[in-house]
C-alpha cells in the first residue's frame, strides 16, 4: 500500500481488492458513541441483513464487496438493487488515501479549498490574492483565475452560489466581493477585466473596521451569512443588496459561521470565546439573544460544519480536539450561562496558538460542563484556523469526520468509534483546508506549502510526485498567522 496510508489497518475479506479498510486502529481509549446519531449513522451505512448474511444465522461486518454484489444479483433483499445504505456500506470502505497527485502548485499559502455541491467545480484560495476555479471533469483545467480586489492579509474564505454562477470572497475587510464565475473571461482581474462587485457588511454605527473570517451562501442563494473579527455575525440580503441582520454574537472574534440546514432559519457560530452558539431567526427574544449555547471546548473554536439536518454539528478547537454536538443538549438559558461560562482552559494569557505549541498537560483537561457527545483527538489545531467536516452523505452515510492539521497531515476519524482510520501525509506545512468529493472516493487537500493535492481510491496510473523532492521550494515562516 502507499506510504501515505500510515495508520490504516489492512483489510481481510474475500474480495481480493486492495481496499483501504475503514475499521481503523482505535486511538486513545476508544469508546463507542452511545447516542441516537450512532444509530442514524449505522442505518445510513449498514447493508440489508439479507445481503450481509454469510451463513444462516451468521453475520459478518464489514461485508465483503463481492458478497454484497452476489447478494444483489441473487436478489437476496427482494429489491433487485442496492439501497442507499447498501451503496454507502460498499463505497465507504474505499477511502481516498492513494496518492498524492499534484493538482496545482502555487508560491503562496493555500487557505481555502472546496468542491462545489455537485462536485463539478473546485475552488482554491491563496494568500497571494489569487483564487482559482478548476473544472474537475475536464482534467482540472483552470476555468477562472481570479485576482482579488482590496485584499487584506489573505483570502479568509470563499463561497460558491448554489447555481455555481457566482463566487464571493472575503478577507480582513468588512467588504466582501462577488465574481461572475459563469462568464467567459478566464483571467478575472478585479475591475480591470471584470467587475468584482463589493458588498459592505459594516453599518453606520461601526467605529472601527473589521475583518470577515467566514462567509457562506444560503441554500436558496438569496442570503450570505458572515462571521466577523468584531464578535458579530451578519446576514446580507442579496436581493435587497443590504445588510439585513447584525448580531453582537460573542465575546471575542467569531471565526466560523454556517446555516444549519436548507431552511436557513438556524445559524451556528463559533468563537475565540470557546463557545458554539445556535441562533434561530424565527424567535429572537432580544437583539443578541441566541437560542442556546454549547460548552465543552477549552479554547477558541476555529471551524464548524453542520450535518445538514438542523440537529448535529462538529467543531474544531484550539484545545486540539474536534467535538460532536446535538443542539437538543444546548443550554437554553444562554445569557446567564454565557456570562458565567469562563472557559477553564490554560488560564495563560501568554499562550498563543499562532506560534506556540499546546502544552502537554492541557491535553488531559476537561471542561466541567462539557455538553458535547464525543471528542476526537490526534490532529493539531495551531498556526491557523484549521477546518473539519463530515464525510459525504451519498458515498459514506457521513460515517467519518475529517480534518486538516498543523502537523501537515490530514486525519480521518470514524464518527461512532472515534478511531483514526486514515492519515494522509504529503504536505510540508499546515493543512488548513481539505475537501472530500460529494460522490466519489476523491479528496483534495491544500496547505501553506502552496500545494493542491489529489487523493483517490484506487488512483490514476500517473506516478505520484515524491513528496521530499520538491525543487526550488523556499520556506518562509511568518510571525503572524490567522
Kindly write down the DSSP assignment for every residue of 62-81, as one continuous string.
SPPHHHHHHHHHTTTTSSSS
CB 264 within 8 A of CB 216: no
What is the structure's pLDDT at 285? 54
Q: How far apart are CA 110 and CA 126, in angstroms?
A: 4
Bridge partner residues of 177 (DSSP) = 169, 198
Q: Report pLDDT for 4.
A: 39
Check residue 340 and report its DSSP letter: H
- How far is it, in rounded angstroms, from Cα 339 to Cα 295? 12
Surface-to-core class of residue 200, CB atoms within 10 Å of its CB (0-12 exposed, 13-18 middle, 19+ buried): middle
What 3-state DSSP class applies to 338?
helix
Q: What is the mean pLDDT of the chain?
A: 84
Over residues 279-317, the pLDDT tens digits come to 998 886 556 689 999 999 999 999 999 999 999 999 999
User: Pick from 421, 416, 473, 409: which is nearest to 445 by CA?
Assistant: 409
CA distance 77 to 89: 15
Q: What is the arithmetic mean of pLDDT over 247-259? A: 96
Q: How confident is the model at residue 50 (pLDDT cuts 50, 70, 90)?
A: low
Q: What is the pLDDT of residues 427-452, one digit of tens each?
A: 999 999 999 999 999 999 999 999 99
376-397 pLDDT per residue, tens: 999 999 999 999 999 999 999 9
Which of 215, 213, 231, 208 shows the shortest CA–CA distance to 179? 215
In 136-281, beta strands by DSSP E? 141-147, 157-160, 166-170, 175-180, 187-189, 197-200, 212-217, 223-228, 232-237, 242-248, 254-259, 266-271, 276-280
Q: Which residues of 456-466 are buried (b: 16+ CB within 10 A; e: fewer)?
A: bbebeeeebbe
Q: For residues 293 and 283, give the distance between their C-alpha atoms in angstroms, rounded to a whole number.
A: 15
Give pLDDT, residue 384. 97
User: Looking at the predicted structure, is the pLDDT value of residue 475 above 50?
Assistant: no
Backbone angles phi, psi at 292, to 5 degrees: 180, 170
Angle between helices 65-73 and 84-91 (to 10 degrees): 150
Instruction: Give residue 119's pLDDT.
Output: 97
Secondary structure letter of residue 430 according to DSSP: -
232 burial (CB, 10 Å; 0-12 / 13-18 / 19+) is: buried
The pLDDT > 90 percentage for the chain reads 65
- Rounded Cα–Cα distance for residues 456 and 443 (Å): 6
Spatial CA neighbour of 237 closest among 214, 256, 218 = 218
Place of cell 475529517: 402
The pLDDT tens digits for 190-227 are 878 899 999 999 987 766 789 999 999 999 999 999 99
Strands 110-115 and 121-126: antiparallel
Amino acid at each position: 500500500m502507499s506510504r501515505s496510508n500510515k495508520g490504516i489497518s489492512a483489510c481481510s475479506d474475500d474480495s481480493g481488492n486492495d481496499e483501504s479498510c475503514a475499521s481503523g486502529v482505535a486511538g486513545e481509549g476508544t469508546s463507542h458513541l452511545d447516542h441516537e446519531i450512532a444509530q442514524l449513522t449505522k442505518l445510513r451505512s449498514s447493508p440489508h441483513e439479507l445481503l450481509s448474511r454469510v451463513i444462516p444465522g451468521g453475520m459478518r461486518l464489514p461485508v465483503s464487496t463481492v458478497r454484497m454484489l452476489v447478494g444483489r444479483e441473487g436478489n437476496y433483499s427482494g429489491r433487485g438493487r442496492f439501497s442507499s445504505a447498501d451503496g454507502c456500506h460498499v463505497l465507504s470502505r474505499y477511502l481516498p488515501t492513494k496518492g498524492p497527485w499534484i493538482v496545482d502548485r502555487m508560491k503562496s499559502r493555500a487557505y481555502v479549498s472546496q468542491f462545489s455541491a455537485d462536485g463539478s467545480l473546485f475552488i482554491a484560495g491563496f494568500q497571494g490574492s489569487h483564487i482559482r476555479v478548476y473544472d474537475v471533469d475536464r482534467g482540472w483545467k483552470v476555468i477562472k483565475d481570479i485576482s482579488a480586489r482590496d485584499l487584506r492579509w489573505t483570502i479568509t474564505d470563499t463561497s460558491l452560489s448554489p447555481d455555481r454562477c457566482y463566487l464571493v470572497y472575503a478577507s480582513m475587510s468588512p467588504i466582501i466581493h462577488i465574481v461572475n464565475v459563469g462568464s467567459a473571461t478566464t483571467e478575472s482581474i478585479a475591475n480591470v477585466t471584470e467587475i468584482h462587485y463589493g458588498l459592505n457588511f459594516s453599518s453606520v454605527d461601526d467605529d472601527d473596521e473589521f475583518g470577515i473570517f467566514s462567509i457562506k451562501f444560503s441554500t436558496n442563494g438569496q442570503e450570505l451569512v458572515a462571521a466577523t473579527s468584531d464578535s458579530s455575525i451578519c446576514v446580507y440580503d442579496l436581493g435587497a443588496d443590504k445588510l439585513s441582520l447584525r448580531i453582537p454574537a460573542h465575546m471575542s472574534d467569531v471565526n466560523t459561521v454556517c446555516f444549519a440546514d436548507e431552511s436557513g432559519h438556524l445559524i451556528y457560530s463559533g468563537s475565540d470565546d470557546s463557545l458554539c452558539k445556535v441562533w434561530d431567526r424565527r424567535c429572537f427574544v432580544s437583539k443578541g439573544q441566541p437560542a442556546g449555547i454549547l460548552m465543552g471546548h477549552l479554547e477558541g473554536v476555529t471551524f464548524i460544519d453542520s450535518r445538514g439536518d438542523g440537529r448535529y454539528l462538529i467543531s474544531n478547537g484550539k484545545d486540539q480536539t474536534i467535538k460532536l454536538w446535538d443542539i437538543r443538549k444546548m443550554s437554553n438559558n444562554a445569557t446567564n450561562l454565557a456570562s458565567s461560562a469562563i472557559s477553564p482552559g490554560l488560564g495563560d494569557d501568554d499562550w498563543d496558538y499562532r506560534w506556540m505549541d499546546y502544552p502537554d498537560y492541557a491535553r488531559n483537561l476537561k471542561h466541567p460542563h462539557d455538553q458535547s457527545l464525543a471528542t476526537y483527538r490526534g490532529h493539531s489545531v495551531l498556526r491557523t484556523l484549521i477546518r473539519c467536516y463530515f464525510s459525504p452523505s451519498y458515498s459514506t452515510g457521513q460515517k467519518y469526520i475529517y480534518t486538516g492539521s498543523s502537523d501537515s497531515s490530514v486525519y480521518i476519524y470514524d464518527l461512532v468509534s472515534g478511531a483514526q482510520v486514515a492519515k494522509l501525509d504529503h504536505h510540508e506545512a499546515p493543512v488548513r483546508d481539505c475537501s472530500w468529493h460529494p460522490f466519489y472516493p476523491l479528496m483534495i487537500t491544500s496547505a501553506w506549502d502552496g500545494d493542491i493535492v489529489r487523493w483517490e481510491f484506487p488512483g490514476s496510473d500517473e506516478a505520484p510526485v515524491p513528496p521530499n523532492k520538491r525543487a526550488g521550494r523556499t520556506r518562509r515562516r511568518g510571525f503572524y498567522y490567522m
